[in-house]
Amino acid sequence: MPPHPGSDGPIDFSDVTSGATTSGEPRTYVVKSGDSLSKIAKVMYNDAKQWKKIYEANKDQIKNPDLIRPGQKFIIP
């Protein structure tokens, strides 16, 4: 790798970590206007049919899967 301009040698990326979650901790998603569980599933899983995963993980907040509200924060398993 060529040296970075103005530096004494190659750039050291050894302390850089990925933004990916490797700890197995679930992600979260904040509902926006116009969202539905299937739209969120499409974004998060690339498969709208996976909406039930989100519903099951958030049953305490979702009384009716067809009625979610902007601002709700869902766990994405």
pLDDT greater at residue 54 or residue 1 = 54
Cα 27 to its chain centre, rounded Å, is 5
Superfamily (CATH) of domain 27-76: LysM domain (3.10.350.10)
The domain segmentation of the chain, as residue ranges, is 27-76
Over range 65-72, report the average pLDDT. Answer: 97
Neighbouring-strand partners of residue 28: 75
* DSSP reduced 3-state for 43: helix
Rounded CA-CA distance 70/75 in Å is 15
The pLDDT assigned to 1 comes to: 46
- Residue pair 40/54 in contact by the 8 Å Cβ criterion: yes
Question: Full-prediction pTM beyond 0.85?
Answer: no
- Tell me the pLDDT tens digit for each residue of 16-43: 443 444 557 779 999 999 999 999 999 9
pLDDT at 3 over 80: no
Rounded CA-CA distance 41/74 in Å is 11
> What sections of the chain are H helices per DSSP?
37-45, 51-57
